[in-house]
Structure 1
Amino acid sequence: MKMGWWRKWCSDFRFLGILLQFLLLTQCAALKRQRIHKNNSDDEMYYSPVQLHLLEDHVVLDNGILNVTLSTPAGMITGIEYNGIDNLLESEYEEINRGYWDIVWSKPDHPQDITDKLDGNSVYVVREDENQIELSFLQTWSSSKTGLPLNIDKRFIMLRGSYGFYSYAIVERFKGWPEMSMSQGRIVFKLQPNLFQYMAVSDDRQRIMPTMHDREKGHPLDYPEAVLLTDPDNSFLKGEVDDKYQYSSDNKDNRVHGWICSDPPTGFWMITPSNEFKTAGPVKQDLTSHAGPISLSMFFSTHYAGIPLMVKFGDGEPWKKVFGPVFIYVNSVSDDEDPLALWADAKEQMLIETKSWPYDFPSSEEFLNAEQRGTVSGRLLVHDRYISERPIIADSAFIGLAPPGDAGSWQRENKGYQFWTETDARGYFVIKDIRPGNYNLYAWVPGFIGDYKCNFQINILPGSKIRLRNLIYAAPRNGPTLWEIGVPDRTAAEFFVPDPNPTLMNQLYVTQPDKFRQYGLWDRYTDMYPYEDLVYTIETNNYETDWYFAHVNRNVGNKTYVPTTWKILFNLVDVDESSNYTLQLALASANEAELQVRINDGTLEVPHFTTGSIGKDNSIARHGIHGLYWLYTVGIPGSLLLSSNTNTIFLTQSRGSSPWRGIMYDYIRLEGPPSTDIETLKH
């Protein structure tokens, strides 16, 4: 009896010891996580109330962790005090040029761009208590004014215990207001260059960066953004090319980026918890952080798209949109810890912010919380009878809601909200937190060309949960595949990207898979094909090594660029001259280009097909691997093809004069007639 009691006591004691050990380890882990913010201060577990300090022409948001100073009534961020640093921003700049919102716009009768920094003409305290302060800076327009015809309500929020602050804006225009266009809207932060010299955009895109002074001393290259660093303060950077477009990212990948100061170890990060307020969908590319040091939150721009993403308003057209909130996050570690831990912590904070979306603390009724939003779920399948008689699972497809339009219109949409996700391995999807309104459901599926659009509109109401039946995407197809070049994924990433000119390199991308971000690759085509253009033989060549990633012009000297013609050689047997064949041309990018197609006669004055002048996405010059997506279905009469002989398709990019006029192919496929057996057509 006593022995049983003793065994039970010992067992309970061991259990209690294990439990206490677990709690102790958990607490130690928590303290270690907190150290990344608080440097082991005595007040680790205590957060001061948020305070608002009113000065003569400034206000200060103070939560005991950081202070943020804003000018009044303009609403410029003039100072950020944190971790013993008086101001993370460059105080040598004027107050209007440290941290600010801006919009680049134009009038119809004055097409030159005007930059408005959205300085407010009044300021209001929206909320003030010990847990939260929210300020509103208003810029209003009336018919008696000549400036930007928008009402701007800039908001700044500081929360108790938060290592950063939030900012968002409600932008509005009313009926009767004048015609205008906008090409860019963003938040800009210019940090102290003597402190912030290490930039991180992703796990594999991090580096010590040059300063603006380094750039000013450098040698300008073919366009203003690109500079060869000839005498940088840090000799490690000498001989490198710096260009802000080398650090662009797709919206879907642009969740957190920023800068690290090594002494004292401090991080400054821009966190974007949702892309619903950004234009043109998940694969729209834009700027992140770049030399300055500068950190950006881009809401809309024409980058990598051109005029289609110019936000144009007709005379009297009303509009309203909420941009943000985005989170400006700061962190720190002790002097004996690795400053790179700040990047890992910033990623963790990004996940926290993303899971918290939509936020429940913004005070504006225009920002809708989770209860005011809806959900859509379903499953996407693909039908392509030349691959399978049964529906194919749309694995990892991008699927989303955007304002009504044609199939694929989402990539040019620039006024509304978009909500995207990816399908799982079985094709299922759930799109959450959708603002009420009327939408079309769009999708595109890696491995298949074209765009899907659901054939009915979806009306989202507050709290609605819409479950769709199986959706079938009939991928464009007229006949069986005779041959193909590339992978239909809307990029040219799978094609051959050359090494850069050794004198014009960015060392970051020497060992990276995205070599396309190197400067000057348009001229490397001329180095590889100085006299004759690319010839690709279907039976023997490999697109990964033999198909150049961009169809560009040839440099013939004296900065003269001439059009080029690529050839695809292939053999067919038993050509059906009475039937039609199909050439599917999917383009990943086009910039002031014209693609002409000729079949078996490259001397024809009039091509069998031409795209006409297309595109202005400038992806070649701006180190992108894609811009806007284009799909052309070209019919080829069988009478133009040769049986049991070599056929040639001539692809001419006919617009010369510039190194950056050209296209990038996504995927090319030749299809046989619908009724034929593919095996009898192959050679």
Structure 2
Amino acid sequence: MFSGFLFLSALSFCIFSPDRLCVTRAQRSPMAAMATGVNISFQENHVVVNNGIVQITFSNPEGHITGIQYKGIDNLLEIMNDEPNRGYWDVVWSPPGSAGTKGTLERLAGTSCEVIVQTEDQVELSFSRTWDSSHQGKLVPLKIDKRYILLRGSSGFYTYAIYEHLEEWPSFNLDNTRIAFKLRKDKFHYMAMSDDRQRYMPLPDDRLPGRGEELAYPEAVLLVDPVEPEFKGQVDDKYQYACELKDLRVHGWICTDLAVGFWQITPSNEFRVGGPIKPELNSHVGPTTLAVFASTHYGGSDLVIKFSEGESWKKVFGPIFIYLNTVLDEEDPLTLWDDAKTQMSIEVDRWPYDFPASSDFQYAEQRGVVSGRLLVQDRFFSSDDCISANGAYIGLAPPGEAGSWQRESKKYQFWTEADEEGYFSIPNIITGEYNLYGWVPGFIGDYINSTIINITSGVNIDLGDLIYEPPRDGPTLWEIGFPDRSAAEFYIPDPDPIYANDFLINDPNRFRQYGLWDRYSDLYPDEDLVYTIGESDYTNDFFFAHVLRKTSNATYDKTTWTIKFNLIVNESQTYILRLALASAHQSDLQVRINDINKDPIFSTGKIGGDNAIARHGIHGVYWLFNIKIPGIYFYTCGENFIYLTQANNQSRFQGVMYDYIRLEALPTSIVNKI
């Protein structure tokens, strides 16, 4: 299940008191003895909340986090930054009809402060702002309510926000929204976001002109004269740390000198967009830590949230938990990562929280459960009637078409993973109407149960056995790859030594190296890739991304990949080519049979904008094309050729990543019915 990592540590455990407050290693330090009830004080332009472990200072009435005091450190946030540039919520928005995914970056500032809860056990603060016509074109047309919660005995704090758009307000596009924390660069030097991606990090100064050299886009910088010589020759790029949402539960930074950890924990992804395998940003050089709730990263303009005039909308983003921890003097500060993972598991188990005071956040008893079993029926794959959908991804999302959850961005989604027998259970579903969606590794296409599932408070719905019939009309003549919505199984080259980062050399992170798109031109300087069925091996002979070829004058040529295969053809028979794409960016993929100079028998047209190639991804938005090919297009016997041409060549990042390619032969009985 996507309930998070299940880590155990001899150094960390959780004790639940009747009010469900949690005690962890950080609270058992000598500082825990200072823990008191939660108190709040108002200063001239600030509000301060304190529980004896952590103290948080907010600007008033804006609600920006200006200071976090912990373990004797007066402020964990960057004191060299202006107060609004330390801890803040922001959005990127644009006028309706705007093209692309860029807009106005606005730091969300409240105009009023209200104490929602004030007891010895909990303080909840609200910093809110309501849009009116005087803000036309100046502020995002939303009502914003930012909330912050500090609990007794908690080594950290919670934050969430309620966004609302009223019917009478103007239309607009919402491209991104998040909360960001800028930590002190003189203290936080070690970053961790997974077991296999954690390291000492360069300084933000290393990215400045003179010390860093900007590469193909501003986010990627070659460190030519860093402050610490050990980073010389490395590429710093925040996209190298992107992570799929299902795995993005905890990330952050460690101050090794004072043994302090700063962690962002997301116990649920129900409020995020794009589904469980959408990659997203988290922590990167700054030192910066983000909680991104909606973005166009690895999705493109399809994930822009578009509001029309007359549309009512409200959504709760969060809560997330900012967790602070420390170690005893004799302990290794890097073990703070293990403790953070344990705390993450604790937060996941507590979801949905029972302490947020907003009526817009639903507690466990207000939510519902859906369970069932998914089976796969593919008579050409197994002689049995059905097989279990082992490892299937199953989710509830707003009603739509098969696969529409990938581009749905306004409401909530709830995902889980089926067990070996195909059984699944999705708990804590917010009330509303949904369809059930899914896909199964090993099979192409999207499952949908189009029956509307109405979730009411306390409901427990057992859907029983469900059958997924993946796209299939005939036996497999040949196939390339494995259908799992990723290009990871294909050939991933070594990076150009000029840009190699040692911490990404080995699997599973090889594809995150900078500049792999240009390695195709190095490997195929004059002629394009040719893949021979029965001889070639897709793990070694099929490049992971169908990109353009860089020329000597720094332009990019179209590329055509060739699939060679022997086939005895019945000209009266029909064949189907299944093209499953793991990613597409401004690509026009054309298919030709046996004559490269003829018009294509199929063209995708210009599709995609997930930019996964540039962002060191291995997938973006999934596409599936099912192309019928009359037998007369093939030679009746002997060698045949399928040509795949990437026809758009205006920029270096245009291209596709294949997930899986299959050629089927339709039985004559089926052909006669077409």
| TM-score band, normalised by shorter chain | over 0.9
Give aligned pairs, total: 648
Name 1:429's counterpart in structure 2.
424
User: Percent identity between the aligned chains?
Assistant: 56
Answering whether residue 664 of structure 2 is matched by residue 674 of structure 1, we say no
Deviation of 1:30 (Å): 8.6
Change (3 A) 1:29 1:244: closer
Change (3 A) 1:597 1:109: closer
Q: 2:130 aligns with which of 140, 160, 167?
A: 140
Name 2:197's counterpart in structure 1.
205
**Are 1:553 and 1:562, in contact at CA under 8 Å, matched by a contact in 2?**
yes
Q: 1:251 aligns with which of 217, 237, 245?
A: 245
Q: 1:297 and 1:40 mapped to 2: Cα distance?
A: 28
Q: 2:661 and 2:175 mapped to 1: Cα distance?
A: 33
Name 2:175's counterpart in structure 1.
183
What letter is aligned with 1:122? S
Q: 2:658 aligns with which of 647, 657, 665?
A: 665
Q: 1:55 and 1:636 mapped to 2: Cα distance?
A: 74
What letter is aligned with 1:434? I
Task: Provide the secondary structure at the position in 2 that maps to 1:135.
Answer: strand
Deviation of 1:674 (Å): 2.5
Deviation of 1:672 (Å): 1.0
Task: Provide the secondary structure at the position in 2 that maps to 1:440.
Answer: strand
Name 2:3's counterpart in structure 1.
none
Name 2:19's counterpart in structure 1.
none
From the CA coordinates, give the structure whose radius of gyration is larger. 1
What letter is aligned with 2:232? K
**Are 2:577 and 2:662, in contact at CA under 8 Å, matched by a contact in 1?**
yes
Deviation of 1:336 (Å): 2.4
Q: 2:144 and 2:258 mapped to 1: Cα distance?
A: 37
Task: Provide the secondary structure at the position in 2 that maps to 1:342.
Answer: helix
Answering whether residue 544 of structure 2 is matched by residue 549 of structure 1, we say yes
Name 1:41's counterpart in structure 2.
30
Return 5+ residue gaps in structure 2 as ranges. 1-9, 16-21
Task: Provide the secondary structure at the position in 2 that maps to 1:351.
Answer: helix
Change (3 A) 1:491 1:30: closer
Name 2:453's counterpart in structure 1.
458
Name 2:640's counterpart in structure 1.
647
Change (3 A) 1:50 1:29: closer
Q: 1:415 and 1:66 mapped to 2: Cα distance?
A: 34
**Are 1:266 and 1:339, in contact at CA under 8 Å, matched by a contact in 2?**
yes
Task: Provide the secondary structure at the position in 2 that maps to 1:457.
Answer: strand
What are the superposed Cα offsets for residues 182-203 of structure 1, whole Å, 9 maximum, x if unpaired? 1100000000011101100100
**Are 1:278 and 1:417, in contact at CA under 8 Å, matched by a contact in 2?**
yes
**Are 1:374 and 1:461, in contact at CA under 8 Å, matched by a contact in 2?**
yes
Q: 1:226 and 1:124 mapped to 2: Cα distance?
A: 42
Task: Provide the secondary structure at the position in 2 that maps to 1:177.
Answer: coil
| 1:118-267 pair list within 5 angstroms | 118-146=108-136, 147-216=139-208, 217-267=211-261
Answering whether residue 476 of structure 2 is matched by residue 487 of structure 1, we say no
Q: 1:607 aligns with which of 591, 596, 600?
A: 600
Task: Provide the secondary structure at the position in 2 that maps to 1:410.
Answer: helix
Task: Provide the secondary structure at the position in 1 that maps to 2:189.
Answer: strand
Q: 2:553 and 2:159 mapped to 1: Cα distance?
A: 49
Change (3 A) 1:676 1:647: farther
Change (3 A) 1:40 1:367: closer
Answering whether residue 582 of structure 2 is matched by residue 594 of structure 1, we say no
What letter is aligned with 1:609? F
Change (3 A) 1:348 1:28: closer
Change (3 A) 1:334 1:654: same
Name 1:8's counterpart in structure 2.
none
Q: 2:279 and 2:24 mapped to 1: Cα distance?
A: 35
Q: 2:104 aligns with which of 114, 120, 129?
A: 114
Deviation of 1:233 (Å): 1.4
Change (3 A) 1:542 1:56: same
Name 1:406's counterpart in structure 2.
401
What are the superposed Cα offsets for residues 380-427 of structure 1, whole Å, 9 maximum, x if unpaired? 001101112411100010001000110000000000000000101110
CA-based RMSD: 1.8
What are the superposed Cα offsets for residues 555-585 of structure 1, whole Å, 9 maximum, x if unpaired? 1122100110000000012x11101001000
| 1:144-543 pair list within 5 angstroms | 144-146=134-136, 147-216=139-208, 217-388=211-382, 389-543=384-538
Q: 1:515 and 1:664 mapped to 2: Cα distance?
A: 16
Name 1:12's counterpart in structure 2.
none
Q: 1:478 and 1:38 mapped to 2: Cα distance?
A: 61
**Are 2:571 and 2:636, in contact at CA under 8 Å, matched by a contact in 1?**
no
**Are 1:446 and 1:488, in contact at CA under 8 Å, matched by a contact in 2?**
yes
**Are 1:263 and 1:335, in contact at CA under 8 Å, matched by a contact in 2?**
no
What are the superposed Cα offsets for residues 288-340 of structure 1, whole Å, 9 maximum, x if unpaired? 10000000000000011111000001122111000000001100012321111
Name 2:6's counterpart in structure 1.
none
Q: What TM-score does the superposition give when structure 2 sets the normalisation length?
A: 0.94
Return 5+ residue gaps in structure 1 as ranges. 1-25, 678-683
What letter is aligned with 2:26? H
**Are 1:39 and 1:333, in contact at CA under 8 Å, matched by a contact in 2?**
no
Q: 1:115 and 1:27 mapped to 2: Cα distance?
A: 42
Task: Provide the secondary structure at the position in 2 that maps to 1:196.
Answer: coil
What letter is aligned with 1:364? S
Q: 2:213 and 2:453 mapped to 1: Cα distance?
A: 54
Q: 1:583 aligns with which of 577, 584, 590?
A: 577
What are the superposed Cα offsets for residues 60-115 of structure 1, whole Å, 9 maximum, x if unpaired? 11000010100000000000000111100001100000000001101137766111
Name 1:10's counterpart in structure 2.
none
Q: 1:67 and 1:360 mapped to 2: Cα distance?
A: 23
Task: Provide the secondary structure at the position in 1 that maps to 2:474.
Answer: coil
